[in-house]
Amino acid sequence: MSDWVEACAAGDIDEEDVMRFDHAGRTFAIYRSPDDEYFATDGLCTHEKVHLADGLVMDDIIECPKHNGRF
């Protein structure tokens, strides 16, 4: 049995793009860096629980759309 959960195909996320993925009652942000690295992080900002999928990806950093916090 595998612990991996298929969220999307690699080609579904453009360079420096982010998508929201909901699974098992949680929200995740899945994003791709310019170096073709893929990241899956908590999908909500720690400040006010804003969805990070609405934010910006710069290199390997995701920025909250509400208060510009960077993760």
Structure tokens at 37: 């690295």
Sign, CA torsion 12/20/6/32: positive
Fold of 10-63: Rieske Iron-sulfur Protein (2.102.10)
| Greatest Cα pair distance in the chain | 40
DSSP secondary structure string for all residues of 47-71: TT--BGGGSEEETTEEE-TTT--B-
Domain boundaries, the chain: 10-63
Give the bridge partners for 57, in sequence order: 62
How would you write the pLDDT of the chain (71 residues) with one tens digit per residue? 568 888 999 899 999 999 999 999 999 999 998 899 999 999 999 988 899 999 999 888 899 999 999 98
